[in-house]
Amino acid sequence: MAATSPSIRAQAYARLRYSDTGHVSRPWRSFHLLVVGLGLLAIAISSLDGLPPWLSGILSIAVMATAAIFAAEYGVRLWSAPESPRYAGLSDRMARLSWATSSSGVICLLAALPLFAIVFGSIHADNENAPLFCILWVLGLTRHAPAMGTLARVISNERATLTSVLVIFVMVLIVSATAMHIVERVGQPKLFGTLPDALWWAVVTLTTTGYGDAVPMTTGGKMIASVVMVSGILVLALMTGILATGFAEEERRREYLRVWDQVTKVPMFAELGTVTLSEIVGKLRVRNYPPRIVVVRRDEPGESMFFISEGEVEVRLPRGAIALGPGTFFGEMALLDRLPRSATVVTTAPTTLLVLYASDFYEIASNIPALVEAVEREARRRHTENQGGAKATAG
């Protein structure tokens, strides 16, 4: 028994990891999302007035079940925390403590808290405090969004530029609020009589929200408001631009590393020098496919070819199927001959492909003639093989 426990624990840890792509982890993630969705829906419906008692009962059970599932998840994650490579070398107790105090542990605990509130407190699904559960459960969704990590990195990378824009924002805010206070305080003492009141107006206007609760009446006030409104649009546009560029840049870097990882598994590329390799890496895209997915369909137009870095595909030809494994490629015939696809190609295992679009293929053709020649040679061989097969079938 003692010998089997660690492996069960390791398996539990691996299955619950959000980055795991195994056949248990994916359904678990979908189930997790479904549970959050149902829990939120139950609380939203519970907040309606005049529900029949039977429906309230069902909703209470749904909320309780949601909370119980998150509490169980917390328990399993806490128990399996020592399996995390991050806590290698720590005792089980210290590893669990480290996980429990990490952001991931705290978010997980918050999602489980409603169970204690229900069991030990008096909060039910239709209680006025129950909507609090929504916040706790929605926080857990951050684990489903890897882009949150990207956002944090983008903000960190662009902090100098973002700070400059924020400083401009604060300057415009204070100058406009002070000016409005001076110009409008006599006419509208309730709305602009104090600096905090004027600041509230400036925030609402500068962010282009415009509640309309405080409106300038004097000509001077209207002129100031016009400048503030235009400045607001400019500042928001600047912020959006900085974040969008940062996101695109970060995504490009991540994709580059992902492609580089996969490219080294394809012998054709591994033989190229570093400079040539880095050129082609910028043109390839990584695509992951589960088994039984049609990647290209016979007779459809083709604008890209695919290199297999992991997994296996099946080329379905009239005379039978041919399996292609890691290091090989397909989709080159339509690309070179500008003809429709000659066969349907389907994945037979979880497969990672590197996609090269036609425009990029011709762009690298001049710099890496050896690669293009190898692709052309194989395309000719396949063409001859298919024609031979077709004649044999006809004969």
Residues in contact with ligand CMP by CB under 6 A are: 296, 302, 315, 317, 322, 330-334, 341-343, 345, 382, 385-386
- For residues 83 and 246, give the distance between their C-alpha atoms in angstroms, rounded to a whole number: 35
To ligand CMP, the closest distance from the beta carbon of 334 in angstroms equals: 3
- For residues 311 and 292, give the distance between their C-alpha atoms in angstroms, rounded to a whole number: 12
- To the nearest 10°, report the CA torsion of 355, 358, 364, 370: 80
3 state SS for 300-346: CCCCEEEEEEECCEEEEECCEEEEECCCCEECHHHHHHCCCCCCEEE
DSSP-derived letter for residue 22 is: S
Contact 148, 241 (CB under 8 A): no
- For residues 156 and 150, give the distance between their C-alpha atoms in angstroms, rounded to a whole number: 10
Nearer to ligand CMP among residue 13 and residue 330 (C-beta): 330
- Structural Rg of the chain based on CA atoms: 30
Contact 180, 224 (CB under 8 A): yes
3 state SS for 36-72: HHHHHHHHHHHCCCCCCHHHHHHHHHHHHHHHHHHHH
Nearer to ligand CMP among residue 160 and residue 394 (C-beta): 394
To ligand CMP, the closest distance from the beta carbon of 282 in angstroms equals: 23
Nearer to ligand CMP among residue 111 and residue 317 (C-beta): 317
To ligand CMP, the closest distance from the beta carbon of 337 in angstroms equals: 8
To ligand CMP, the closest distance from the beta carbon of 298 in angstroms equals: 7
Nearer to ligand CMP among residue 315 and residue 356 (C-beta): 315
Nearer to ligand CMP among residue 220 and residue 327 (C-beta): 327
Nearer to ligand CMP among residue 39 and residue 302 (C-beta): 302
CB atoms within 10 A of CB 34: 10
- For residues 154 and 152, give the distance between their C-alpha atoms in angstroms, rounded to a whole number: 5
Nearer to ligand CMP among residue 74 and residue 330 (C-beta): 330
Give the CB-nearest residue to ligand CMP.
Answer: 334
To ligand CMP, the closest distance from the beta carbon of 310 in angstroms equals: 18
Question: How would you label 284-323 residue by residue, b for 16+ Cβ within 10 Å and e otherwise?
Answer: bebeebeeeeebbeeeeebebbbbbbebbbbbebeeeebe
To ligand CMP, the closest distance from the beta carbon of 97 in angstroms equals: 55
Nearer to ligand CMP among residue 279 and residue 378 (C-beta): 378
To ligand CMP, the closest distance from the beta carbon of 360 in angstroms equals: 16
- For residues 76 and 69, give the distance between their C-alpha atoms in angstroms, rounded to a whole number: 11
To ligand CMP, the closest distance from the beta carbon of 372 in angstroms equals: 15
To ligand CMP, the closest distance from the beta carbon of 383 in angstroms equals: 8
CB atoms within 10 A of CB 209: 10
Nearer to ligand CMP among residue 315 and residue 355 (C-beta): 315
